[in-house]
Amino acid sequence: MLFSLVSQDNENSTESRMSARPAHLERLQALSDAGRLVVAGPSPINPNGDTDQGFSGSVVIAEFASLEEAKTWADADPYVSAGVYSSVSVKPFKRVF
C-alpha cells in the first residue's frame, strides 16, 4: 500500500539538512531501486522553488507493507536523527492519477 510521509523542518535546519543529505538520499535510492518509491522531494520556502531560503519540509510517497512499517522507516530517517524534522506525518495514500 502507498503511504505519504509529510515532514516539517525545524527553523534554521538547512546546515543539518545538507550534512545528513547523502544518507537520506541513499535510503530513498534503496526504495527507488526496489520499485517502491513514487515521488520524493523537499518543499522550498521560496514559492518560486529557489532553494536559497532553505526548506520547510519534505514529501515522500512510497509503498510499504503496513502503516507501522512506514512509520518505522520514517522514524529511522537521517533527517530525524540530525534534528532537521520537527514532525513527520505518515498516512495511507490512494493514487488516483
The pLDDT value recorded for residue 51 is 78
**Residue 46 confidence (pLDDT) above 90:** no
For the chain, what percent of residues have pLDDT higher than 70?
A: 100
- Mean pLDDT of all residues in 10-32: 96
Residue 95 in any domain: the answer is no
> What confidence tier does 47 reach under pLDDT thresholds 50, 70, 90?
confident
Dihedrals φ, ψ of 88, to 5°?
-135, 125
DSSP H or E stretch at residue 91: strand 85-92
Task: Tell me the residue ranges of DSSP E strands in 15-68.
Answer: 37-44, 55-63
Residue 77 in any domain: the answer is yes
User: Domain containing 77 — which CATH number?
Assistant: 3.30.70.1060
Residue 45 in any domain: the answer is yes
Structural domain span for residue 3: 1-90
Residue 96 in any domain: the answer is no
Cα–Cα distance between 49 and 97 in angstroms, integer?
23
Maximum CA extent, the chain: 37
Domain count along the chain: 1
The pLDDT value recorded for residue 95 is 95
DSSP H or E stretch at residue 23: helix 14-33
> What is this structure's pTM?
0.93
